[in-house]
């Protein structure tokens, strides 16, 4: 059975083609600059060079049609016919309170997403356009929506309620929702496996650190608090988003700086975070390089970002009441020892003891590692996330009628012997590049998969 996943942004469409029977990724790619000039598709199949095709895509339907044409291309395709695709899984950023788990999309579900657009004006419209376009191109197959917010629907009212007029919540849905749910679900389940614990007797703090960043408190296997709120703007310092600020600052800047509400929203979402502090860098690698050369604002960005993470770790440890592990994931979380190290400074009194050498070695997206000292009461794990696999498994289970909310459902990656075969094909190269990495890997590595040309 061939399953496709689609992740539609306002100007991009990411995709993956997956063979469920063989448990293999057949193709991945992205269409960039959708609705803009210079749009193109970047398409990868295992064992081949990346294919780039320039093609005008004035809307998401054209982008998805381009994807369909590419994956069945006689020379560069992954499958023989589009009829082989039996289901499509779609990322949906915001499901509000209406959805506590993934769902098969019908007209009523799609209308509910439209009704929720005001809660995620930067994300949901693009997600909806993608679903509508894909249903036009593939009208005969089931389409499934996997919500970022669903994982956090276990939060208690005292965690998701803001101290605002209650009518704002009752009438307009103003509350904390949280995001990165598929990432937190995957990493929470994997962390329980690595710790050898029942997932519903496991307490964690998970830090998803990338261009977008959030942190989640997990008590007995479910989300009880998270740093992002009504929108993905609240919480940690991010690539271009401010995270937590004094709510009076926007009013102050409208008065003193003459900034319009539209410009303020754009600034808080796209011109703040580490980009705002450095005034020129968003990539953490560039920031670290600049800091090493003595650029004070670059060093300040590192200090501010890591300090915010450290504060949340302390707060969430108190909220959970004792934790088994701190887990880092996503691009910076997986391959950013500097941020990880500074975020954990001074937490030894909480039983969180970082091994600096292990932390330095852990710079891979292809294996799970442990970077705490051997005697650390609280373990520190680095778990590369796999949101696409969650989308694939939810989609298959929905179509086959076996799906349920995650507390009543078991994923393949909860098996202690689970091996991610695509990553397994790359880990030997990482072992050669990073001497000693193999000593801190805690996930199974078979060595049976040939090295992939897609490794980086």
* Residues annotated as catalytic (active site), given as ranges: 148
For the chain, the three-class secondary structure string (H helix, E strand, C coil) is: CEEEEEEECCCEEEEEEEECCCCEEEEEEEEECCCCCCCEEEEECCCCCCEEEECCCCCHHHHHHHHHHHHCCCCCCCCCCHHHEEEEEEEECCCCCCCCCCEECCHHHHHHHHHCHHHCCCCHHHHHHHHHHHHHHCCCCCEEEEECCHHHHHCCHHHHCCCCCHHHHHHHCCCCCCCCHHHHHHHHHHHHHHHCCCHHHCCEEEEEECCCEEEEEEECCEEEEECCCCCCCCCCCCCCCCCCCCCCHHHHHHHHCCCCHHHHHHHHHHCCHHHHHHCCCCCHHHHHHHHHCCCHHHHHHHHHHHHHHHHHHHHHHHHHCCCCEEEEEHHHHHHCHHHHHHHCCCCHHHCECECHHHHHHCCCCCCCEECECCCCCEEEEECCCCHHHHHHHHHHHHHHCCCCCHHHCCCHHHCCCCCCHHHHCCHHHHHHHCCCHHHCECCCCCCCCCCCCCCC
């Amino acid at each position: 059975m061939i399953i496709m996943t689609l992740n539609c942004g306002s100007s991009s469409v990411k995709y993956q083609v997956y063979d469920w029977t063989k448990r293999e990724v057949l193709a991945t790619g992205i269409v960039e600059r959708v609705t803009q000039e210079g749009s193109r598709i970047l398409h990868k199949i295992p064992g081949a060079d990346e294919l780039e095709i320039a093609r005008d895509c004035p809307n998401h339907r054209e982008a998805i049609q381009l994807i369909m044409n590419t994956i069945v291309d006689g020379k560069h395709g992954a499958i023989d016919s589009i009829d082989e695709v039996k289901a499509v899984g779609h990322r949906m950023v915001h499901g509000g309170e209406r959805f506590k788990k993934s769902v098969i999309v019908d007209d009523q579900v799609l209308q509910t997403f439209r009704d929720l657009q005001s809660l995620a004006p930067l994300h949901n419209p693009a997600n909806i356009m993608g679903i509508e376009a894909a249903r036009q191109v593939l009208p005969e197959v089931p389409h499934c929506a996997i919500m970022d917010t669903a994982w956090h629907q276990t939060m208690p009212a005292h965690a998701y309620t803001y101290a605002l007029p209650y009518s704002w919540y009752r009438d307009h849905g103003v509350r904390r929702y949280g995001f990165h749910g598929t990432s937190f679900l995957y990493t929470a389940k994997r962390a329980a496996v690595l710790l050898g614990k029942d997932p519903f007797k496991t307490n964690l703090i998970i830090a998803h650190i990338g261009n977008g960043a959030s942190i989640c408190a997990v008590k007995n296997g479910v989300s009880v608090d998270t740093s992002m709120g009504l929108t993905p703007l609240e919480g940690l310092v991010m690539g271009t988003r401010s995270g937590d600020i004094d709510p009076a600052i926007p009013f102050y800047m409208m008065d003193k700086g003459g900034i319009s509400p539209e410009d303020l929203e754009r600034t808080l979402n796209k011109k703040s975070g580490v980009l705002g502090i450095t005034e020129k860098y968003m990539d953490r690698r560039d920031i670290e390089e600049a800091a090493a050369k003595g650029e004070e604002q670059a060093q300040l960005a590192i200090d501010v970002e890591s300090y915010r993470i450290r504060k949340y770790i302390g707060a969430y440890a108190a909220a959970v009441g004792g934790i088994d592990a701190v887990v880092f994931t996503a691009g910076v979380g997986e391959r950013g020892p500097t941020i990880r190290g500074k975020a954990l400074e001074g937490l030894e009194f909480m039983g969180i003891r970082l091994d600096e050498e292990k932390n330095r070695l852990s710079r891979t997206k292809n294996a799970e590692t442990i970077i705490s000292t051997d005697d650390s009461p609280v373990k520190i794990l680095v778990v590369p996330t796999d949101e696409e696999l969650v989308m694939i498994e939810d989609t298959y289970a929905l179509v086959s009628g076996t799906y349920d909310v995650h507390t009543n459902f078991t994923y393949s990656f909860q098996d202690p012997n689970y091996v991610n075969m695509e990553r397994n094909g790359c880990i030997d190269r990482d072992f050669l590049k990073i001497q000693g990495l193999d000593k801190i890997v805690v996930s199974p590595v078979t060595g049976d998969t040939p090295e992939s040309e897609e490794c980086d």
